[in-house]
Amino acid sequence: MTNKKKILIAESSKILIIVLKNILESKNYEVIICRDGFDALKTILSSKPDCVLADKVLPTIEGIQLCSLLKMGYELNDIPFILFSAEDDNSDFWINNSHADDFIYLDVKNIEVVPEHIEKLLT
């Protein structure tokens, strides 16, 4: 039996999903993929991942709203939640207003830092 940590990725871009999945699987994480916020919410409730990595902007329920819903709940508010965005905006604003545990501005130069952010929150 494996003790891999489960990371749920909520992302609509097929290309970014592939890149993030490959990076995280190479670090020995089990990866669960959801293409929209509503699917992510249902999956989080049923599978209880060790960490959630969600795009700030998602179809159906945006990542910001998804994070707020989870952090306002009683049972799952301790799951580390990382919001990310390709938009260069004020990360402090999104962390403070969504209750996210971390925020990553993702671009091609820093996508490899994702596992470091996850590991920091899991320890």
Helices (H), the chain: 14-26, 37-47, 63-72, 91-98, 114-122
Q: What is the DSSP string of 97-110?
A: HH--SEEEE--TTT
Paired strand residues for 52: 8, 81
Task: Say what the pLDDT of residue 89 is.
Answer: 63
Q: What sign for the dihedral angle of Cα 116, 44, 58, 36? A: positive
Give the span between the Cα atoms of 57 and 54, in whole angstroms. Answer: 8
> Over its length of 123 residues, how does the chain's per-residue pLDDT go in tens digits?
568 999 999 999 999 999 999 999 999 999 999 999 999 999 999 999 999 999 999 999 999 999 999 998 778 899 999 999 887 666 566 666 778 999 898 888 889 999 999 999 999
- Across the beta sheet with 102-105, what order do the strands follow? 30-34, 6-10, 51-55, 81-85, 102-105
What letter represents residue 17's amino acid? Answer: I
Query: Which residue from 28, 19, 33, 49 is spatially nearest to 112, judged by alpha carbons?
Result: 19
